[in-house]
Amino acid sequence: MTPTAVNSGARLDRLPISAFHWRILLLIAAGGFVDAFDVYLSGSVMAAMARDGFSDLARNAYFASATFTGMLIGAGTAGLIGDRYGRRYSYQTNLLVFGLASLAACFAPNIETLIVLRFIQGLGLGAELVIAAGTLCEFIPPSHRGRWGALLCMFINTGLLAANGLAYLIIPSLGWRAMFAVAGVGALLVWIARKSMPESPRWLESVGRVQEAEAVLRGIETEVAARHGTLPAPARVVDLREPPVPLRALFTGGMGQRTLVAALFSVAYNIAVYGFIAWLPTFLVKQGLTVVQSLGYTTLMSAGAPLGALFGFLIIDRMARKTSVIAMCLLSVAFGLLYPMMADPVAVTAVGFGLVSSVYAMVAIAFYGYVPELFPTSLRLRGAGFANMWGRATSIGTPYVILALFAAGGLPAVLGLVVAALLVLVVAVALLPVEMARAPLEESGRAPLVAAET
C-alpha cells in the first residue's frame, strides 16, 4: 500500500450510518422513483390511449417495445459510461434525457411521434436503475448494505403505486398526456437536486484519481465525525487501484457465471413485471371492466410493490442472499399458479397483491442487493448494465408474446410464462457458489467466492 492510496473501501465501511448516508439514499431514490413512475405509467396510458382511439393494441405493443428498446441501449450505455467516466456523470445525463423527452411527449400529435419520443425516454429510463443500485452499495457499510438496497427498492417502487394512483385521479379528468408532464417535471427537479451529490470514492480510487477520492472521503468523514465523534480506524487496507479492465472480463473465469445469473435475473424480472404487472389495466379492460374500474383494482394490487420491498428489507440481512432470493421466487411462483383460479374481485385483488408483493421482495433482494455485489468496482456498472440489456431485450419481444398468449389462453397462459422464468432463475441461483451477505464489496473481486452466511 503506497502513501498515495486512500483505502476508500475500508474507510467507508467503518463509518456509522449518518445523515450523509440518508442524503445519498434519498437523492438516488428520488431519481429512481421518477424513473419507475415514468416506466409504470405505460400500462395506464396505453389503456387510456386505446379507449380514446389515439392508439390500439397493436400500436400499444409498438409503444411498449420502443420503451424497452431505448432502455436496452440506455442500460448498456450507462454501464460503459458509469465505469469509464463516473457514476455521477452517468446518472445526471440519463435524468436529463428522459426528463426532457417526457415533457415533449405531452405534445405528441400522433402515436407514431409518441413512439419515437418513448424510445428517447427509454434511453434515460434504462440507465437509472443500473446506476442507482450500483452507486448506493459503494457508499453503504456491509452491515447495512442489503437493507439499504431494499430501502432503495421500496422508495423507487412507490413509483408503481404513484403511477397507478395518479392515473386513477388524473387520466379521467386531465387525460393521459398529463402523466408525461408529471414525470418530466419530476425528473428535472431531481436533476437539479442531485448536482450536489459526490462521486463514489471507490470508483475514483479504482481509476487512479486518488487525490479526488481523498478529498471526497475527507469531506464525508468530517461530516460524519461532526455528528458521531471520533471515527474508528479502518479494519483493513485495500488498494483499489487497478489497470483498465476490458468488457470481456465479465465473461471469463468465475465472473462468467455471475454475469449469467445476473442476466437471468433481469430476464425473469422483466417478464414478471412488464409481462404481467404493467399489462394489468389492459387485461382487466379486455375482461369487461371499465378503465376507471381496472385502474382502481390495479392500484390496490400495486400497493404490494413497496410493501414487498419492505418485506425484503426485513429479511435480507437476516439470512443468506441466495436463500432469500430463492424463497421469494418460489413464493411468486405459488401466487402465479393461484391467480388464474380466482374469480371473485376481492380474491383476484388479494392474490394479485400477494403476487406483486413477492415479486418485488425478490427484486429488492436480488436486483438492489445481490446483483451489484457480484461484480468488483471496475466492472460493477458494466456487469449490471449487461444483465439489464438482456432483460430489456426480452421485454422488447414480450408485448407480442403476451398478446399472443393472452389471445390463446388468457391469463393462465401469461402467468405460465412468468412461472417458468422464475423457476429457471431458482436453479441458476442455487448453482452459483457466491454469497455476499455482510462481506466487503472488495471481496467480490475473488471468483468464485463464498462468504460466511449470517
At 378-392, the pLDDT tens digits run 899 999 999 989 987
Lowest mean pLDDT among 119-133, 172-186, 254-268, 391-405: 391-405
Please tell me the predicted confidence (pLDDT) of residue 3.
46
Cα–Cα distances in Å, from 454 out to 52, 355, 387, 432? Answer: 54, 27, 27, 18
- Specify if 114 maps to a domain: yes
Domain count, the chain: 1
Does residue 447 have a pLDDT over 60?
no
Q: Would you say residue 111 has pLDDT above 60?
A: yes
Residues pairing with 450 in the sheet:
435
pTM above the 0.95 mark?
A: no
Cα-Cα end-to-end distance for the chain: 31
Say which CATH number the domain at 58 has: 1.20.1250.20
- Are 33 and 162 a contacting pair, CB within 8 Å? yes
In a domain, 95, yes or no: yes
- For all residues of the chain together, what is the average pLDDT? 87
**Is residue 243 included in any domain, yes or no?**
no
The boundaries of the domain holding residue 320 are 16-230+248-445
| 235 is a domain residue | no
Q: What percent of the chain has pLDDT over 90?
A: 51
Q: Is 110 exposed, middle or buried (0-12, 13-18, 19+ CB in 10 A)?
A: exposed
Confidence of residue 450 (pLDDT cuts 50, 70, 90): very low
Per-residue model confidence (pLDDT) at position 60: 87
- The answer to whether residue 348 is domain-embedded is yes
Residue 335 lies in a domain: yes
Of 2-16, 209-223, 282-296, 401-415, give the range with the top mean pLDDT: 209-223
What is the sign, positive or negative, of the torsion defined by CA atoms of 93, 99, 102, 103? negative
> Do residues 418 and 405 touch, judged by C-beta distance below 8 A?
no
Which residues are CB-neighbours of 429 under 8 A, at least 6 positions away?
261, 265, 322, 325, 326, 329, 366
